[in-house]
């Protein structure tokens, strides 16, 4: 046996021993069950209220999606100049209104002067909501209007901004004051914002995974040391693909489910793709088209 072969075999033996040692010592901690995510069947969350059927983040979208039978909404929040928590995705208001400027530089009164349906084009190519009175919506108003709906809240303000430094504590105070801890999920692309929020919430609210947490989980899953992964989130809201990697394999979903972490996929508007994801084990579909998703989920439930 040559010297290189002996070295190679020794390296393999050391790696196997390290794996066996960590496997024996590992004690993976499952996430505790949370009431917000304790549902018995896959659910439909209307993305930005259901922005494929009405202007995004508008009361018209939320109302139509609720009537269609969704179990919840997936929304974004930002802080206004007068420190109101607004249901809104973009940093600038240009794309979804006829206005201009940053949300954080405008008061609620100023923002309510814009037509939220200004750019919305319906399936026939018409500006069907322009001038119909759709205005921006506060998170508080959404809680009040839909008292039984699960609401997935994505903090959009960066932790490096003034408004971003305030919004975790303000969000917690609103959730606590309205006693909605058991019907919300709080997440952000910024892991730091999730951590800041949870400093106040102390695990009394279901938490989503930020980009770093998703990356850490997927890396662990693809390594020999997945048994060492300790989840810091109750639910992963993820795309089907990230860069060159697919995140929708049944094995990856099972890896997370075994740790009591639910998996929701966004943004899914195709019926066949919805069926494939549910078959793979997904517990939630985030969609712009609840008019497509709700019948699909109902059909699957009737067959099961």
> Is 56 within 8 Å of 89 (Cβ atoms)?
yes
How many angstroms separate the CA atoms of 194 and 139, rounded? 18
Q: Take residue 224 and report the two structure tokens written for it.
A: 């020999």
Report the relative pairing of strands 137-138 and 43-47 from DSSP bridges: unpaired
| pLDDT above 90 for 2 | no
Interval 78-85 mean pLDDT: 98
Give the rounded percent of residues in the chain with a pLDDT score beyond 70. Answer: 89
Q: Kindly report the average pLDDT of the chain as a whole number.
A: 89
Which of 16-20, 121-125, 157-161, 216-220 shows the lowest mean pLDDT across its residues? 16-20
55-84 average pLDDT score? 97
pLDDT higher than threshold 50 for residue 111: yes
Res 1: pLDDT: 54
Q: What is the mean pLDDT of residues 170-198?
A: 97
For position 127, what pLDDT does the model report?
64
Q: CA torsion, points 53, 56, 60, 62, in degrees to nearest 10?
A: 90
10: pLDDT strictly greater than 50: no
Q: Which two tokens stand for residue 149?
A: 């709906």
Q: What is the pLDDT of residue 123?
A: 64
CA distance 87 to 154: 10
Q: Tens digits of per-residue pLDDT, 42-65?
A: 999 999 999 999 999 999 999 999
State the residue for tokens 């069947």: 41
Residues 278, 299: contact at Cβ < 8 Å?
no
pTM, whole model, 2 decimals?
0.89
Six token digits for residue 110: 């100023």
Contact 67, 129 (CB under 8 A): no
pLDDT tens-digit map of 244-294 = 789 999 999 999 999 999 999 999 999 999 999 999 999 999 999 999 999
Which architecture, in CATH terms, is 30-303?
A: Alpha-Beta Barrel (3.20)
Beta carbons within 8 Å of 67's beta carbon, 6+ residues apart: none
């Amino acid at each position: 046996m040559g010297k290189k072969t002996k070295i190679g075999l020794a390296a393999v033996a050391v790696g196997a021993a390290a794996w066996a040692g960590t496997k024996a010592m590992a004690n993976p901690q499952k996430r505790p069950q949370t009431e917000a995510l304790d549902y018995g069947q896959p659910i439909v969350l209307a993305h930005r209220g259901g922005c494929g059927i009405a202007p995004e983040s508008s009361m018209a979208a939320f109302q139509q999606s609720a009537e269609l039978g969704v179990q919840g909404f997936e929304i974004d929040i930002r802080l206004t100049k007068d420190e109101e928590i607004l249901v809104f995705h973009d940093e600038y208001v240009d794309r979804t209104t006829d206005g201009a400027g940053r949300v954080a530089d405008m008061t609620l009164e100023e923002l309510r002067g814009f037509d939220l349906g200004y750019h919305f084009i319906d399936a026939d190519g018409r500006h069907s909501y322009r001038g119909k009175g759709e205005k921006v919506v506060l998170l508080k108003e959404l809680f009040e209007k839909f008292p039984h709906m699960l609401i997935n809240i994505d903090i959009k303000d960066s932790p490096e901004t003034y408004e971003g430094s305030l919004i975790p504590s303000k969000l917690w105070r609103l959730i606590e004051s309205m006693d909605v801890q058991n019907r919300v999920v709080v997440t952000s692309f910024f892991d730091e914002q999730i951590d800041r929020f949870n400093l106040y919430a102390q695990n009394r609210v279901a938490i989503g995974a930020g980009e770093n947490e998703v990356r850490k989980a997927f890396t662990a899953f693809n390594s020999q040391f997945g048994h060492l992964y300790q989840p810091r989130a109750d639910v992963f809201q993820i795309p089907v693909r990230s860069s060159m990697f697919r995140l929708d394999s049944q094995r990856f979903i099972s890896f997370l489910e075994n740790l009591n972490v639910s998996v929701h996929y966004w943004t899914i508007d195709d019926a066949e793709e919805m069926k494939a994801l549910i078959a793979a084990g997904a517990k939630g579909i985030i969609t712009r088209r609840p008019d497509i998703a709700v019948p699909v989920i109902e059909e699957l439930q009737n067959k099961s």
